[in-house]
Amino acid sequence: MTISSPQKRFASQVVQILRRQYPDAACALHFRTPLELLVATILSAQCTDQRVNQVTKTLFKKYPDAAAYARAPLAELERDIQSTGFFRNKAKSIKGCSEALLERHGGKVPRRLEELVELPGVGRKTANVVLGTAYRISSGVVVDTHVARIAHRLGLSAEKNPEKIEQDLMGQLPQEEWIDFSHRLIHHGRQICKARKPQCEECPLGKICPRIGAG
């Protein structure tokens, strides 16, 4: 997608409106450390943040560091996270990721995107969540289902692949907005610009949104 000046001006309008609407938007996952956020983000795939937060209440007490996850029997870890769905794959990712953190990074979550995406079970989206929310490092734009849907409806991207959507957004937004823009768009998707019944009449973006695919 070639980014024109009018597109950048439109994206700037979207940023300003969302900033006013959701000034305190933040990650809905509960965490205290970068490792906790990393684990919670892995668990959040195909699962609600509310469910993840319920599970991590006890999970984080039982597994306080990467070493605890690494030495946990896989079957036990699977049982601990079963209610989040896809628990076998998630348990394998968490255990493998923790083993890699111990081997390569002294059990600490690295601050570089290139190092994060080399960990088992960690893709670019998860890495962006951790870097942006735990470290306030603008490595990219987190593209989840809400961000993808609204970016399309606003005409900010016509792509379907999350990484291509991310590239479109990064090209239109100033880097200092990447982190908070994702949080605000996710909140907007949950509250107003819903998948099935978008509340366009109540939307603060209603006057400028082209409503692509919104019915």
Compute the distance between CA of residue 107 and CA of residue 47 in angstroms, rounded to an integer.
26
H or E element that contains 147: helix 145-153
Catalytic residue, chosen from 144, 160, 164, 207, is 144
Compute the distance between CA of residue 169 and CA of residue 172 in angstroms, rounded to an integer.
5
Compute the distance between CA of residue 192 and CA of residue 197 in angstroms, rounded to an integer.
9
User: Is residue 144 among the annotated active site residues?
Assistant: yes
Catalytic residue, chosen from 80, 90, 125, 180, is 125
Give, to the nearest 10 degrees, the angle between helix 87-105 and helix 34-43.
Answer: 150
CA nearest neighbour of 173 among 208, 142, 141, 197: 141
Compute the distance between CA of residue 77 and CA of residue 82 in angstroms, rounded to an integer.
8
Which residues are catalytically annotated?
A: 125, 144
